[in-house]
Amino acid sequence: MQQPPLDEMENFLRGLQDRICNALEEADGAAKFREDLWERPGGGGGRTRVIADGALLEKGGVNFSKVHGDRLPPSATAHRPELAGQTFTALGISLVLHSRNPYVPIVHMNYRFFSAGPVWWFGGGADLTPIYGFEEDARHFHGVLKTACDRHDPGFYPRFKAWCDDYFTITHRQEMRGIGGIFFDDLHGDASLLRAFWEDMANSFLDSYLPIVARRRDLAYGERERQFQLLRRGRYVEFNLVYDRGTLFGLQSGGRTESILMSLPPLAAWAYDWQGEA
């Protein structure tokens, strides 16, 4: 199967990064993204954009990267050992947003493409981690993702939702990280059809997230809600540093550490043997 054109997908992801950053700056109304261009010693590089201390966003990052190398790192071959030792190219966009208001959920989005030797595949997804859950927000977020999936294959949403629920589990605590979304990896087949699906899902991000922001950003909160937010962020950190395949791939492949760890919140908390109130 012929590989999709890398230059066209790179242009799409760069344009998507621009559109998302512009929309988030407009929604925040105070802060602007800082941009860092970086090069990876082993090949490739990226464009990191981070926003901080805003009216809406306490910290957020929207990263584009395209890297290549002589040997796939262990995180990329754990599920496909036959590819060990292959040259590789990886490009993608990754986003994590930590809001100031505890009623606005943490959101994560990542869409990527890999090629390793003669093999290529798409991966990605988006998921929501509320501090305080609202059924209306959950239905909206999942509804946007399902609508986008259904435009391509009605079997995609139930399959990729279940995959997301399984993947974003903090196993050592037996907890879900949030309310899920969709997640897929190793997706290969008809290149044009899969690329159309991949781009459509990436384009759906702003529609899935910004209406939730509009509903929750002005809700009043106090120190009690802030402390609970910090504890929930601690759980988010645990997942990212222990289980997240994207984080492990970035660190093992010699990526830029500051860009990889931009997903971590500016503040988090851990309380010994904490038991939450109803």
| CB-based contacts of 199, cutoff 8 Å, min separation 6 | 12
Q: At what angle do helices 135-150 and 156-167 cross, to 10 degrees?
A: 130
108: annotated active-site residue: yes
* SS3 state of residue 126: strand
Residue 264 in tokens: 């971590």
Residue 170 CA to residue 187 CA, distance in Å, equals 24
Cβ neighbourhood burial of 234 (10 Å; 0-12, 13-18, 19+): middle
Question: Per residue in 256-266, is it b (16+ CB within 10 Å) or e — as a string?
Answer: beebbebbbbe
Residues across the chain:
278
Task: Pick the catalytic residue from 79, 98, 108, 140.
Answer: 108
Q: At what angle do helices 135-150 and 191-203 cross, to 10 degrees?
A: 150
Show which residues are catalytic: 108
